[in-house]
Structure 1
Amino acid sequence: LFFVPTGSGDCSYAVKLGSEMDIDCPVYALPWPDFNELCPPTLEEMAARALLRIKDIQPSGPYRFAGYSSGGILAYAIAQHLLRLGEAISFMAFIDVELPENGPTISPTKIINELVLVGLESLDDERFAELERFAEQSSTVQLLEKAQEIGAIPSGRDLHADISRYEKAATFQRMLNVYEAPSLPVEIHQFYANGPCRRRAKPPEQSIGSDRSSPFLGWQRILSVQAIRALPIPGDHETMMSASENRQVLAQRLSTALRVPFENRG
């Protein structure tokens, strides 16, 4: 089972989740392939690069994938590439993965600033609101310096490393903006968060269109609803993974989905 990174390039979620699953197959957490932000690849090209590492581990299918948040769209693009090569996809798990609608292009600074705010969700309301207002008219460097000034970020932290990480995440979001997901002959399990959303910051992928009203999270626009198995997980988008009791439910349901063929599920 291959886990792909989140939309911010984070694979750490797969370590805890994988350790709590009850399955008899190897689990791999794939890192992002290296890419240049000045001349970034398309999502399809990024998927092709990721496939080189996948093929080193598993030369032939059928393949199984899981992805959390907007990173799950990379898993779909990898599946697209594999199907083109004549390989089989036997399992596709989306963990609260929205398929965004096409919308207006967001500036790189706005994308990065929104990612910074998402990472500061744990702040108290007063400081978060202050940074939210500041982000509307500041550069990312100014926003991070402000966050450091008010104690939201440790004073000794290397902001250059933060900026590099956020720039890569923003580049990935721009790849998503222009990716046109095709209808593929695959069946997906959508493990969607069914708790109330307590998030104050708006993730970039939701800024370009959101379809939270349906447990299919927008994938019904390109796939038949019969090809989507929607499974509720307690918590919101963050706490379904960060809260141990919710993650254990997710691990159990993900394990069951892997063991039971899609067509045999009630």
Structure 2
Amino acid sequence: VDAGALIESSSKAASPAGSQSPVGDTEIQLASIWCDLLGFQTIGRDDDFFVTGGHSLLALRLFSRINRQFGCELPLSVLIAHPTIRSLASLVDRKSEAPPSEMDSPKSKGHQVTLSDEGLAPPMFCIHGGDGGVLFYRNLVGQLSGTFPLHAIESLELSSSDVIAPTSVKETAAAYVQHVLAKHPKGPFRLAGYSFGGLVAHEMAGILESMGHRVDFVGLFDTHNPTAESRAFSLPERFTSFWKQHQEIALPSRLARLGTRIVAGIRTNRQVRSGIHQAEANGPAAAHSDLRRVQVRESNWKAMKAYLPGPINGRLTLFKAMVGSDKFEWPNDYGWSSLTRSGLDIVPVPGEHLTLFEPENITALAQALEDSLNRVPSSPQIRDGE
């Protein structure tokens, strides 16, 4: 993620006007933080954080400051349901006055958030990516038809300042299954995950199957099987790969993009190396800080490298980025064909690994997801609560 580009784009957002001014101490304090991060002089109590220029990196900084200032540990994903100062202030006041529930306490591995509760079809549960956040799934909601509820599970390690205890994909999946069953006890179940989250979703499917539940759908958003054989490209091969991926572009533009890619690659490599060094050299970082995000990502990376997935009974759907990596060569199926007893569907989607959920690609991804779900054989659903 190009943090500099994100921050620059958000600073260009116009300051909102016409909304009612913040009311009460909590709203006024939140408005001060909000304005500082977004570069506004004033903000209305009903202005939406995302509409006014907020994005996932600014959300991390917003919640880092909120938690320090108000002495609470709110999961980042609550911003999805509480994107305005008015609603967020109400939540902050409640959390400051009452202890957190067991499921949403820092001792729990995850926090389940509802992105959309519309629709009568079985709900979809989406698992966070490597850095633990789920705000990017918010982009899906506006592109879907509303025929099924959509939930996401965020890592609570992102919202904690405690030491990140060593964990595994299996342990994480087992904990998240409890969140799913608490929301949707009797199935059938539909799961999906981006990158690292796809591994967790796959493992969750196996756990649910072992409990006798029916899992109708497991979606992998550009997730690689960590045990699949891959090969690192040599430097000349990386240039060749990039050149082929952009062969439809005129030569001058292609050369310009190559130069941009080289500069960006050097900058990203330095940032990643620096971030990993800081993550390892320092103690537990503050909740929602940039360093905390790196620490969560590194913890999940270690869990991924140690994971040995087993086959599940259900069918898998791999949503595969059309623009592949110019660093590694992976098998066409990313190593998933042997990990399903019912077959693998490979669905090409626009973009590369880091841009699948960006505005230019999200419409196609949402359509591909719905098309895949529409091909799932219908099965009786027991409504939650029955």
TM-score with structure 2 setting the length: 0.50
Aligned position for 2:213: 87
Out of 350, 353, 361, the position equivalent to 1:234 is 350
Distance in 1 between residues matched to 2:324 and 2:301, nearest whole Å: 25
**What is the Cα deviation at residue 130 of structure 1?**
5.6
Aligned match for 1:169, one of 293, 297, 314: 297
- Return closer, same or farther for 1:183/1:20 CA change in 2, 3 Å cut-off: same
1:94–1:159: structure 2 CA closer, same or farther, 3 Å change rule?
closer
- Alignment partner of 2:289: what SS? helix
2:277 maps to a residue whose letter is T
Contact 1:9/1:32 (<8 A) preserved: yes
- Equivalent position to 2:193, from 52, 67, 73: 67
Which structure 2 segments of 5+ residues have no match? Answer: 1-123, 230-259, 379-386
The structure-2 alpha-carbon separation of the partners of 1:58 and 1:42, relative to structure 1 and needing over 3 Å to count, comes to same
- Superposed CA RMSD: 3.3
Deviation readout 1:195-239 (Å, 9 max, x if unpaired): 2546xxx6xxxxxxx66340x211123335x61011111221122
What is the match of residue 170 of structure 2? 44
Match runs of 1:16-165 below 5 Å? 16-34=139-157, 37-101=163-227, 125-126=262-263, 129=266, 132=269, 140-141=277-278, 161-165=289-293
C-alpha deviation, 1:94, in angstroms: 1.0
Sequence identity (%): 22
**Aligned partners of 2:222 and 2:320 also within 8 Å:** yes
Whichever residue aligns with residue 15 of structure 1, its letter is: R
Asked if the contact 1:62/1:90 (under 8 Å) is kept, the reply is yes
Q: Distance in 1 between matches of 2:146 and 2:271?
A: 47
Shift of 1:33: 4.8
Higher relative contact order at CA 8 Å, sep ≥6: structure 1 or structure 2?
1
Distance 1:142 1:183 in 2: 34
User: Where does the alignment leave 5 or more consecutive residues of structure 1 unmatched?
Assistant: 104-122, 145-157, 203-209
1:254 to 360, 369, 374: 369
Deviation at 1:255, TM superposition (A): 0.7
C-alpha distance in 2 between matches for 1:217 and 1:47: 21
